[in-house]
Structure 1
């Protein structure tokens, strides 16, 4: 009988201990869920505030807010050209920088005639490295540069394993995707600081959110731009400079033509460059880190919450499919 009583008392003690642990775990679980729900509500509010509310109010006067001129790199096609057109539509004079003089002059003429603004062109191949920047600096001297859009970038010909990339491609990614943004900021930022106004937009990529296999060098270069932009904003926000990290996901452009057959016109989250730029420009001065497009913002939230292994698994499947499609169509 004494043994039974002892066992019963021990069982009750264990029950109390387990109950305490269960209550503690329940509190931790409730706190975790409350935190996630609060974060989701805040993210949803940010999405509405950034992408929908600005359309209900009058457009910001970028000329008054930042300055009369904008510099856009990689501006003869795709997002760069569309972004330049959106800025010109707001009355800002445009300086286009790219490597093709013929294309630059054609785009500059089109923008000037359509939007009645001044335009200028600078021919520069950013893949050449350090030697091109002295002439760019001289061409921009004494210009009231209010906005700099670092859009120029190079991608893989198609998704590929790192060891199969050529050395030329690797140096091109470093010179165009990383060095160009650094040097362009270094050229125009002193004038902005002196005038105590200005905006810098560095175009990153959704692939910077998590490690992206078969795009390792590209996604890493875009992660650099994202961190570079955020650090710059902390350094210069107090001096009147707004720095934005723009993080688009897939956009239908010439640079991503290898994926158009698989993605474009099949999924509503793949906008044209013109549609994307129209949305992205409206976020300037409001959000210092954004995808620029409301559907991409939903994708960004999903990526932020998903485990890294799931992202890697999905990108392995997608990039393998894109590579096979590109090779089968002779894009190599």
Structure 2
């Protein structure tokens, strides 16, 4: 066997081993209950309370309900008191757990000292950093955003500053107790630089990188810190798109994502979103960034928004007719 043949065989073997290992790692994701099992008392063993930001609807609301079902008391945080009170009442009636409401607007500058005061006496085992804002559901170029300077400040306060500040508030207690979970909600579109959702996608990259770095720093302290990066979930931010194989309900996504808590410092939260992430990273950026592709994305979201608004109007009319009868 000559030197060239030996090099080719070695190279081929290395490729097979590399991709075989990747395939093995992916196969583990198909069976999270088998490879990443959680004991029944997992969440209650972390602490008495879970804190969820942006909990008035969507993914945050679903996390609050699910963690209460697991036996935790929950602190729910958002800016609309009436909605939070309704969610708190529903959680309490459904699960029997205690619910604490904190009304705050994360877009504003100086809200964290009051939040810290209200959380100081609580044994916090789980933090879900879910709150976030999207400048516009319909994708648009950076300079097209209305009141761009104000939008930049609001988005950084909500998507970036809040996540870091809430980690700063809750992480010391978790470190001291040697237990805790922090779930920071990112987005699947942070997988690549994403035109038309430019600043939103960039803010979610911050969420992922800070989460992964914090996990490296505090893993040996018994704290799990994970970035959760979903694609389509039927929420207000996604214009309440109809659920299907890739667009999940908030409840379905949360139930799936909690199975991956032990799966590493980043997860897409579900198998279908994991596949979407792989596909997005596989598309050549020259295709993704082409003007025709960006225009198609904008047209598609506009069309879906009109369809969803029409369906919502029809449902409202139907419910009004039923109430009148």
TM-score by length of 2: 0.85
Alpha-carbon distance change, 293 to 174 in structure 1, aligned in 2, over 3 angstroms: same
Unmatched 5+ residue regions in structure 2? 310-325
Helix, strand or coil: the match of 1:282? helix
User: Which stretch shifts more, 287-296 or 206-215?
Assistant: 287-296
Structure 2: distance between partners of 1:137 and 1:249 = 31
**Is the 2:227–2:266 contact (alpha carbons within 8 Å) kept by the matching residues of 1?**
yes
Structure 2: distance between partners of 1:233 and 1:179 = 18
Alpha-carbon distance change, 134 to 301 in structure 1, aligned in 2, over 3 angstroms: same
**Is the 1:86–1:281 contact (alpha carbons within 8 Å) kept by the matching residues of 2?**
no
CA shift digits 1:156-201 (9 cap, x unpaired): 3221100111222221110100000011111111111111111111
- 1:1-332 equivalences under 5 Å are 23=5, 26-27=8-9, 30-31=12-13, 33-35=15-17, 37-50=19-32, 52-53=33-34, 59-64=40-45, 66-129=46-109, 131-157=110-136, 158-165=138-145, 166-257=148-239, 260=241, 264-265=242-243, 267-313=244-290, 316-322=294-300, 324-325=302-303
**Is the 1:70–1:148 contact (alpha carbons within 8 Å) kept by the matching residues of 2?**
yes
**Is the 2:36–2:262 contact (alpha carbons within 8 Å) kept by the matching residues of 1?**
no
Deviation at 1:45, TM superposition (A): 2.2
CA shift digits 1:308-329 (9 cap, x unpaired): 3344459625532245437868
**Rg (Cα) greater in structure:** 1
Alpha-carbon distance change, 250 to 127 in structure 1, aligned in 2, over 3 angstroms: same
Structure 1: distance between partners of 2:112 and 2:77 = 12
2:314 is aligned to none
Q: CA RMSD in A?
A: 2.7
Structure 1: distance between partners of 2:36 and 2:215 = 25
Alpha-carbon distance change, 328 to 58 in structure 1, aligned in 2, over 3 angstroms: closer
**Is the 1:101–1:123 contact (alpha carbons within 8 Å) kept by the matching residues of 2?**
yes
Deviation at 1:27, TM superposition (A): 4.6
CA shift digits 1:284-326 (9 cap, x unpaired): 2443211111211222233344443344459625532245437
Structure 1: distance between partners of 2:307 and 2:228 = 31
TM-score by length of 1: 0.83
Structure 2: distance between partners of 1:151 and 1:251 = 13
